[in-house]
Amino acid sequence: MPAKKPAPFETIPVGTSVTWHYRSAIGHGTVKGVHKMGTTAANTMYSIEQHDHHPGEPPILVHSGAALTRVAK
């Protein structure tokens, strides 16, 4: 199996707390991993575990890096 080539840019690290705008609210979650690699951190798609999902919403969402804001701990 060939070695995985490192990304030419830094992605948002797994475990990073993030928020995003959703309709008139703000979602809260944690980056679980890269869903689909893009050409920049902004257009890379990330798997996000929602902290405050409601019934009928999936516990894991996919968002672009551009939609995410890192939360200071």
Neighbours of 15 (CB within 10 A): 9
The domains of the chain are located at 17-70
Q: Is the pLDDT of residue 2 over 70?
A: no
> To 5 degrees, how large is the angle CA 66–CA 67–CA 72?
95
Look at 11 and 5; give whichever has higher pLDDT. 11
Q: Coil, strand or helix: which one is 65?
A: helix
Look at 6 and 23; give whichever has higher pLDDT. 23
Q: State pLDDT tens for residues 34-48.
A: 999 999 999 999 999
Q: Rg of the chain over CA atoms, in angstroms?
A: 13
The residue behind tokens 């948002």 is: 12
pLDDT level of residue 1 (50, 70, 90 thresholds):
low
Q: How far apart are CA 28 and CA 40, in angstroms?
A: 23
